[in-house]
Structure 1
Amino acid sequence: MVVDVPLAHLDRPFDYAVPDTMAADVRAGCRVRVRFAGQLVDGFVVELGETSEHGGKLTPLAKLVSPEPVLTPEVLALVRSVAERWGGTVTDVLRLAIPPRRAAAEKRPPADPPPAPPAPDPAGFARYPTGPALLTAVAEARPARAVWTALPGEDWPARLVELCQAALSGGRGALVVVPDGRDLDRLAAAAEQRLPAGSFVVLRADAAPDARYRRFLEAARGSAKVVLGTRAAVLAPVADLALVAVWDDGDDLHAEPRAPYAHARDVLVHRAHLASCAAVVAATARTAEAQLLVESGWAHELVADRPTLRAAAPRVQALGADAELARDPAARTARLPSLAHRVARQALADGAPVLVQVPRAGYAPGLACDRCRAPARCGACSGPLGISPAPGPGGSRVPACRWCARPAATFHCPYCHGTKLRASVVGAARTAEELGRAFPGAAVRVSGRGSVLASVPGGAALVVATPGAEPVAEGGYGAALLLDSWALLGRPDLRAGEETLRRWMNAAALVRPAAAGGQVVVAADAAHAVVQALVRWDPAWLAARELADRRALGFPPATRMAALAGSPAALAEFLAAARLPADADLLGPVPEPPRPGQDGERERYLVRVPRGEGVALAHALAEVQGVRSAKKVAEHVRVQLDPLELV
């Protein structure tokens, strides 16, 4: 059995004796409690046998918590593989895989699975040359793998549900993972329309504990063969798996913030390999990781031809055209150039909503000295000053520290002795206020942190949204304005260009086709590679370029990297004991950005190895963690493989 002990050197199974009073009920996968190091701890039975390799007397099980087999052999094999690949422990992964028990849910008798539905209509995938063939492969339980680049305006929830229906028609199961609750709501609504009642369950992190455990049991018992969920569902116990799919794999919500920090896309790709089932990595844009799957031959592209794409895409315009600069010389520096004004006015005149994407939430989250442009800091804690939206109309907006919340009624610049402030960063609330004055009479709605709109009606209105919070408009938006491109393109991040294109394309995909008057204006230099990819609507070209650059520089996903964070003394001790692969490159150390509640100086190293040495690197790091755990070293070193943030 596996005991729930968070110590790396105890990451192995232990043998216990089954008392005669429990022999009839104990089975593989059930929950028990055992005596371990003088304490009662939880655990899972993974195997029953007649003999044991342990030479001494076995300790009996202390208590049978539940005879329900919640840990299936397939999930156990996946959990062990994930722990090995990402340098974690089995107990860490099991906490992510199995929700806490609720006795009331186990008392409900299991339901019989509904009859298999007919095969889906291939018309939805007809715009993609190999789409119908993918549906057939899933229905026949063949391990087809595809990187799907969805068309603008595509009803992607319906397409993913059709793939699930194809799996059900062959008597098999399916697992689909999306980034957040809004996407999951759309996916669940599509499933209710197309899949038989009781054939699917929705696993979401914000569900009530009783509801989440009840749905988990329906999947574990085989009553529901389709599981739809967010990141936590990647390890769901789906019976007879025929398909795994992930939508918008570039969204950082797919990255698990808890050890062993595995990414949902990578876990699903790994699961497809272990289960020999079909896999679909789907998005409007494309990540370098998805491009690697294509270039390595593991997956094939599922894309539409160019004529179909032109018919579906809106017209995209960027700043920098000679004619536009002649008409508006300040177009390169203006936050809302005349081109954007004209496009927005035309869409509003046509009775269509206009989407305005702003990278930052709030009113004025960043302030600077009006004279020398130095960032404004709090006099008490040196935190950044900002202005929050004032409650109610006409409310006063006083600058305040974003760290300690102290108001800054007066300001004195330590560099130039200026006393006036200006906004260095403009948020969504301030943008909505400015647009309300620029377009009097037009309704203005804001969707962002604290108040995210799922949808908006199709009438004339301005919708200001932060990336990822864009609501779906009835009938599509007439236009989209993508502002403050410097805030996205100028980030010190390896994935800045890729992430910018993903956010832009997700917003532009909500706009009507060009034939219906749909237009997109991006406030960025037209010569930039990311802008060119958007104008041509060619995310595969940018992904191939990004992957080639990273391969030349030795960055993921062409290589595998591990980030080690801790105090200088702890890192020196850790690296001295680590038996790293011969091809490993050690990069660093560099100071680690301070975290809330952090005491003392912390540094970070990066360990880089060729992609084929990734498992060896994970094993070497896990080995050191086990040795340090056995020695009861007080200071912990944080180990994360394939981190999203490298800079």
Structure 2
Amino acid sequence: MSSPATARSARTGAPRRPARNRGEWRPAETAPVARVVVDVPLPHLDRPFDYRVPAHLDEAAVPGVRVRVRFAGRMVDGYLLERVDGSAHGGKLAWVDKVVSAEPVLTPEIAGLARAVADRYAGVLADVLRLAIPARHARVESEQPSDRAVPDPEPPDRTGWDAYPRGGALLDALARGRAAHAVWQALPGEDWAARLAEAAAATRTAGRSALLVVPDQRDVDRLHAACAALLGADAVVALTADLGPAERYRRWLAVRRGNVRVAVGTRSAAFAPLGELGLLAVWDDGDDSHSEPRAPYPQVRDVLVLRAHREGAALLVGGFARTAEAQLLVESGWAREVVADRATVRARAPRVTAIGESDTQLVRDPAARAARVPGVAFEAARAALQAGRPVLVQVPRSGYLPFLACASCREASRCRHCAGPLGLPRPAAGERGADPGGAAGLPACRWCGRVEPAFRCGNCGSRRLRAGVIGAGRTAEELGRAFPGVTVRTSGGGSAVLDAVPAGPSLAVATPGAEPVADGGYGAALLLDGWAMLARPDLRVAEETLRRWFAAAAGVVPHADGGRVVVVADSAIPTVQALVRWDPAWHAEGELAERAEVGFPPAVRMAAVEGPPAAVAEICDLVVDPDRDPPEGVELLGPVEIDPPERPGAGGGDVRERALLRVPRRAGRRLAAALHDAQALRTARKATETVRVRLDPDEID
């Protein structure tokens, strides 16, 4: 006998409610098994699990939807990957309890990309999906999508790209839907946002979508405006973390549903679910904002390379400078470089002056090598101000970073065994009164921990070391006194970051990355404290310094209009020479060759394992264990202590160590798999110590 509710449903035609008791549920008639990735960030559970689909959820449980399932005795979130006819699991399957939303948010392409990213970085799929898919907003899902038609784009103007011999060929490839791979070296003063917008427009003429990723919100605003001017405001959407949860989800859904075919954003936009993807582009791929600070710490450039390979899309890596990773793409033949000829570069570039480039300069200013602002810099600034143009002054970031360097030439000190940076070891908890002249006071490598009792500088041969610090000081106040009556603006370094400065004589003091755009261009740029930026004990110090210098110098007008750049660093340094010649490709080629010689990424794959000493030792032992088929050529460096105890004398409980694992590039996948398996063994036995594992870390000091 039917219940009153059942009889009422039959009379009104309303769908039948599911039985209250799960024991009365019946499986769906077709494809009754759902494979679900559960939101559990444990490596030993990093795989899909099979669940039964009840009949009342048959229509809603489609691939890509959010679901709720019971896992290990509690309800957890998950994503339905696919529906199949059967399961290899011999036991009884649990039910899919709920379909949270009928919106299929996880596309097969993004699911495959997330799996590939997790495998590359020894991570967990659930962590990558958390980065790729924004939180749900129910009210936004119920909104009616805009029905405004987006007009078909016109072929873009090719004038800007014609300055590059291969620029026109690149646009032709995009317009024909071909998967071109290019590393683009932007000219000095280039309107890079306009060029990227033109590349996106060419892609749209082929009926395909485009994804453009930039470092920060300022760049997003600039690029979005350029794309909107060329394609229309309704044809492009900006995806950033600064949006509120509702607006961010609204724009993300517009991309997922295919209402918008061009997306601009920061690093999380690399996973934007665009269909029929034709172009993936990243601007300034060396910026640290492109590196995700959450596990598994993917880098945008590598994510886009994986995505371009998987989806057959074009890839464009652009910037004023070039990273060693981008150079590796060129040298491997996977990408072609898009660069201007030397005559065009010289015509567009400002005149760059370094310290000690001529005897005449040193005769006129004998203290130039020691002065923070030498006479040639004052002359360049004074000439630009008199010409009615603003002057950019770039200084290192605020704060202090201790390091060891050669006392004679200020070259960063390096270990003779692994080429890691040298530092003074911290005394242990019971060694606070140790003799500083004893073994505890000798410099030691911060990578492999080896003591260096007989240091000799590889640059000048000196045996003397000096400790130094980096600080911004009061540059704005000093320049204000030197140029009375001239407006001085500060950007970054504790002050608000300026987007632009107006035309006219003024001084803009900015930290690296916070340089405002000048209306009409800067008349001069002063790059101060070059020795401090180059002496930092970091793997990418030369590359990062040159990238910051190029970013600042690119805003200066050409030398024919009086543009001057003064870099306060020795002219004999290769990084300074690359700036003087405006040849980032030459510098990237040399940087990659040097890293290959000493075994640094990207010539090799390297992993950093950080955490409590016992946990770090356990993971490293599992990876290098000869009985577990270790990765080919694996090398263990360290471990060394990286963080001091919070409370002196409290024992070793707060001590953290870091070990580096290095393998040839061909063994990179095996290293990632070995690290994933080692972490899975620890979580399976419920180890409580937190260990941070990063592959190809951007910063290794």
The offset of 1:600, in angstroms, is 1.7
Does the 8 A contact of 1:352 with 1:477 survive in 2? yes
Letter in 2 for 1:582: E
Does the 8 A contact of 1:559 with 1:609 survive in 2? yes
Does the 8 A contact of 1:234 with 1:264 survive in 2? yes
The offset of 1:646, in angstroms, is 2.2
Alignment deviations for residues 238-286 of structure 1 (CA, whole Å, 9 cap, x no partner): 1101111100011111111111111111111111111111101100011
Query: Which residue is equivalent to 1:276?
Result: 312
Find the partner of 2:158 among 114, 122, 132. Answer: 122
Does the 8 A contact of 1:116 with 1:170 survive in 2? no
Correspondence 1:531 to 2:601 = no
Q: Distance in 2 between matches of 1:118 and 1:31?
A: 39
The offset of 1:447, in angstroms, is 0.5
**Higher alpha-carbon Rg:** 2
Find the partner of 2:472 among 422, 427, 435. Answer: 427
Query: Which residue is equivalent to 1:305?
Result: 341
Stretches of 4+ aligned residues off by more than 3 angstroms? 110-113, 423-426, 593-599
Correspondence 1:85 to 2:139 = no
Could you say what secondary structure the match of 1:355 adopts? strand
Find the partner of 1:40 among 66, 75, 92. Answer: 75
Could you say what secondary structure the match of 2:605 adopts? strand
Find the partner of 2:366 among 318, 324, 329. Answer: 329
Does the 8 A contact of 1:292 with 1:547 survive in 2? yes
Query: Which residue is equivalent to 2:386?
Result: 349
Letter in 1 for 2:367: A
Query: Which residue is equivalent to 1:511?
Result: 556
Could you say what secondary structure the match of 1:274 adopts? helix
Alignment deviations for residues 178-236 of structure 1 (CA, whole Å, 9 cap, x no partner): 01111111111111101133222111011111111111111111111111110111111
Q: Distance in 2 between matches of 1:97 and 1:594?
A: 35
The offset of 1:56, in angstroms, is 2.7
Q: Distance in 2 between matches of 1:68 and 1:631?
A: 37
Query: Which residue is equivalent to 1:446?
Result: 490
The offset of 1:571, in angstroms, is 2.2
Q: Distance in 2 between matches of 1:298 and 1:479?
A: 38
Could you say what secondary structure the match of 1:575 adopts? helix
The offset of 1:457, in angstroms, is 0.2
Deviates more, 1:589-598 or 1:54-63: 589-598
The offset of 1:105, in angstroms, is 1.2
Q: Distance in 1 between matches of 2:119 and 2:646?
A: 30
Alignment deviations for residues 322-349 of structure 1 (CA, whole Å, 9 cap, x no partner): 1111111011111111111111111111
Query: Which residue is equivalent to 2:632?
Result: 582
Does the 8 A contact of 2:60 with 2:102 survive in 1? yes
Q: Distance in 2 between matches of 1:606 and 1:197?
A: 48
Q: Distance in 2 between matches of 1:344 and 1:302?
A: 33
Q: Distance in 1 between matches of 2:233 and 2:551?
A: 31
Q: Distance in 2 between matches of 1:434 and 1:595?
A: 39
The offset of 1:52, in angstroms, is 2.2
The offset of 1:16, in angstroms, is 1.2
Q: Distance in 2 between matches of 1:629 and 1:21?
A: 36
Does the 8 A contact of 1:9 with 1:630 survive in 2? yes
Q: Distance in 1 between matches of 2:645 and 2:560?
A: 50
Deviates more, 1:581-590 or 1:97-106: 581-590
Query: Which residue is equivalent to 1:462?
Result: 507
Deviates more, 1:325-334 or 1:195-204: 195-204
Change (3 A) 1:22 1:224: same
Query: Which residue is equivalent to 1:606?
Result: 660
Q: Distance in 1 between matches of 2:321 and 2:231?
A: 27
The offset of 1:53, in angstroms, is 2.2
Alignment deviations for residues 375-410 of structure 1 (CA, whole Å, 9 cap, x no partner): 9xxxxxxxxxxxxxxxxxxxxxxxxxxxxxxxxxxx
Correspondence 1:476 to 2:521 = yes
Does the 8 A contact of 1:114 with 1:197 survive in 2? no
Find the partner of 1:497 among 532, 542, 566. Answer: 542
Change (3 A) 1:487 1:596: farther
Query: Which residue is equivalent to 1:149?
Result: 185
Alignment deviations for residues 495-537 of structure 1 (CA, whole Å, 9 cap, x no partner): 1111111000100000000011110011111111111110000
Q: Distance in 2 between matches of 1:306 and 1:536?
A: 10
Correspondence 1:256 to 2:301 = no
The offset of 1:425, in angstroms, is 5.2
Q: Distance in 1 between matches of 2:380 and 2:370?
A: 18
The offset of 1:427, in angstroms, is 2.0
The offset of 1:595, in angstroms, is 9.1
Does the 8 A contact of 2:150 with 2:234 survive in 1? yes
Query: Which residue is equivalent to 1:397?
Result: none
Alignment deviations for residues 428-467 of structure 1 (CA, whole Å, 9 cap, x no partner): 6x11101111000100000013400000101100110000
Change (3 A) 1:425 1:93: closer
Does the 8 A contact of 2:396 with 2:470 survive in 1? no
The offset of 1:171, in angstroms, is 0.7
The offset of 1:24, in angstroms, is 1.7
User: Structure 1 length normalisation: TM-score?
Assistant: 0.89
Alignment deviations for residues 549-586 of structure 1 (CA, whole Å, 9 cap, x no partner): 11111111010001111222222222333342131111
Change (3 A) 1:12 1:537: same
Correspondence 1:340 to 2:377 = yes
Q: How does 1:171-182 map onto structure 2 within 5 Å?
A: 171-182=207-218
The offset of 1:424, in angstroms, is 6.6
Find the partner of 1:17 among 46, 52, 55. Answer: 52
Gaps of 5+ in 2: 1-35, 403-423, 425-467
Correspondence 1:7 to 2:42 = yes
Gaps of 5+ in 1: 367-374, 376-422
Deviates more, 1:147-156 or 1:571-580: 571-580
Change (3 A) 1:36 1:424: closer
Does the 8 A contact of 1:83 with 1:93 survive in 2? yes
Deviates more, 1:93-102 or 1:563-572: 563-572
Letter in 1 for 2:188: P
Query: Which residue is equivalent to 2:596?
Result: 551
Correspondence 1:158 to 2:194 = yes
Aligned length: 590
Does the 8 A contact of 1:365 with 1:427 survive in 2? no
Query: Which residue is equivalent to 2:694?
Result: 640
Alignment deviations for residues 112-156 of structure 1 (CA, whole Å, 9 cap, x no partner): 662431221111101001101101111111111111010010000
Q: Distance in 1 between matches of 2:288 and 2:224?
A: 22
Q: Distance in 2 between matches of 1:450 and 1:18?
A: 56
User: Structure 2 length normalisation: TM-score?
Assistant: 0.82
Q: Distance in 2 between matches of 1:596 and 1:224?
A: 51
Could you say what secondary structure the match of 1:48 adopts? strand
Letter in 2 for 1:32: V
Correspondence 1:199 to 2:235 = yes
Letter in 2 for 1:24: E
Question: What do you get for the CA RMSD once the two structures are aligned?
Answer: 1.8
Letter in 1 for 2:362: L
Correspondence 1:185 to 2:221 = yes
Does the 8 A contact of 1:79 with 1:90 survive in 2? yes
Letter in 2 for 1:49: V
Q: Distance in 2 between matches of 1:596 and 1:278?
A: 49
Q: Distance in 1 between matches of 2:85 and 2:145?
A: 30
Q: Distance in 2 between matches of 1:205 and 1:434?
A: 37
Could you say what secondary structure the match of 2:169 adopts? helix
Q: Distance in 2 between matches of 1:470 and 1:500?
A: 14
Letter in 2 for 1:486: W
Correspondence 1:359 to 2:359 = no
Does the 8 A contact of 2:643 with 2:655 survive in 1? no
Query: Which residue is equivalent to 2:130?
Result: 95
Could you say what secondary structure the match of 2:75 adopts? strand
Could you say what secondary structure the match of 2:55 adopts? coil
Change (3 A) 1:198 1:594: farther
